[in-house]
Structure 1
């Protein structure tokens, strides 16, 4: 054999040896998903979006908390407000809110019951009726409060 063929033969043997080593090592590794699936917890499915009635009650309940600190009050309301409503209510002090103790006795209000706009009125232990107006741009968007009328105030 010539020197060139001898080097090619050694290179081929070396490549085969490396390939065999990779196969042996791979065979000893646990197979993906075989043991993990048996002990892992399933991924939770996303729950349904809250209904307009649920959002309106949550907004009314969180709005009518006159004893809350301003920061806690705003943090609890912010996820449920449109950007315009957030601007409107960011200057409100909870101690000035004329309502407390919302009852879950919602009543739809007037002609504002469409797929993108709805309004509900609730009674409160203190301060009279609370009306929450909700809006969403499309049926796929979440309901957000665009206006809150507390204690019959205009």
Structure 2
């Protein structure tokens, strides 16, 4: 996997043309335009020169704490990409394909794999997917917030309001 931020890689055209699946979201013109910063990710199987997947996008918000993130699930071939408010999931099977596009509430923070569950933290959201990229649940948050996971249970602290729930099923409404 390779990641570029801010500028297109020098061999952008080759990566884009030779990838099994190449997708672009937003304009490639300029740098840090009104649509945000540029971000590219290339995912190649081991010992393969050209990527199976090449994704280029503009993202916003782009300030500190809102860095793009990529998580690869080796056993299922699922790739999760978060940048700005855009979340993307792909499968790397032959041929590779996009599974879904979703939105992170107010801006993506990070991916966090916890055993059989993948958590996504955003400015105003905590969400979970299984290892095949299927969404399990989502809950609203508000900064400052944090979480920890112990023995399959999430301890969520949203503005000093504490709750706990199973990681696999999420909070009860």
Q: Work out whether the TM-score is over 0.5.
A: no
Q: Which has the higher contact order (CA 8 A, sep 6+)?
A: 1
Rg: which structure is higher?
1
Larger strand share, 1 or 2: 2
Larger helix share, 1 or 2: 1
TM-score by length of 2: 0.26
